Amino acid sequence: MRKIMLVTGGSAGIGAATALMAGKRGYDVAVNYNSDRQGAETVAETVRAAGGRAVAVQADVSDHGAVAAMFEMVDAELGPLDVLVNNAGMVAPLTCVEDISPDRLARILGVNVNGSFYCAQQAVRRMSAKYGGKGGSIINISSAAATLGAPNQYVDYAAAKGAIDSFTIGLSLEQAAHGVRVNAVRPGIIDTPLHGKGGEPDRAKQLGPKVVPMQRAGSAEEIAEAIIWLASDAASYVTGEIMKVTGGR
C-alpha cells in the first residue's frame, strides 16, 4: 500500500524535488503551495503520470485556520497521513539586524516557525498513537544558517531555523513513545529559487566553490534523498536527528 506524504512549499526547489522523488518511490503526495499554483499542479501531475495519486493544496502555512483546512482536504482526497515534510520557508532581502522591520520579522517567523508548528500539530493529531493514530514521520527543514548565523544577510531567517532545530528535538521526545518519529534535515548552500527571493539568484553558484569544502553547491535532489530516507522504514530507529547535508561546511 502506498504511503501518503504532505510536502509544504512543494511547488519548487527542495519541496518539489522531494514530492517528485516520493512519487517515484511509492508515495501518494499532497503538494502544498501558497501562491505558485502552476508549479504545484505541475509537480502533482508528474506524480500522477508516474502512477501515484497527488493533489495540489493551497494554504499559507502561517495561517492556523488555513493549515487546518489543508489537512482536512488531504484527509478527504488521499486519506490518513503517514509523512509530513515541513519544507515551506522564506527569506527576505539581505540586511542587518538593526534594519529588520517588525513586519518582516513577523512574516519570517510566521512562515518558518509558526507554520512548522501548525502543520506538526495537525500531523501529530492524526499520526500519534496518543490519538489513536498508526504512527508516522515528520521531517522539518532546517538550515546551516541556524549554526552560522547568516550575519549581514538574514539573521532573522537563521534564528527561525535555530528554532526549528529546538522544535525538532522537543517534539521528537514528546512523540517517541507514540509512534511518531521527528527529524530534521539541515541543508547548506543549495541551488534553488529561494536565493532569488532573497535578492541573490546566483548566490549558490557563486558561493559554493568558495566556502563549501566540496567546492560546489548542492542540489535540491540531494536534499530530497535525505528527506526520503528519514521518512522511510530504513530510518525506523532514528528520531530527534538533525542531519547535515552541507558538503562538509
Catalytic residues: 157
| 76, amino acid identity | A
CA distance 91 to 104: 9
CA distance 96 to 84: 33
CA distance 111 to 131: 26
CA distance 150 to 161: 11
CA distance 107 to 84: 22
11 CB contacts (<8 Å, ≥6 apart)? 31, 33, 36, 37, 38, 39, 40, 43, 56
Sign (positive/negative) of CA torsion 84, 242, 43, 57?
Answer: positive
Query: 53: which 3 cell numbers?
Result: 495519486
Residue whose C-alpha cell is 498508526: 134
| CA-based R_g, the chain, Å | 17
Which residues on adjacent β-strands are paired with residue 29? 5, 54
CA distance 136 to 235: 12
CA distance 25 to 203: 31
CA distance 226 to 220: 10
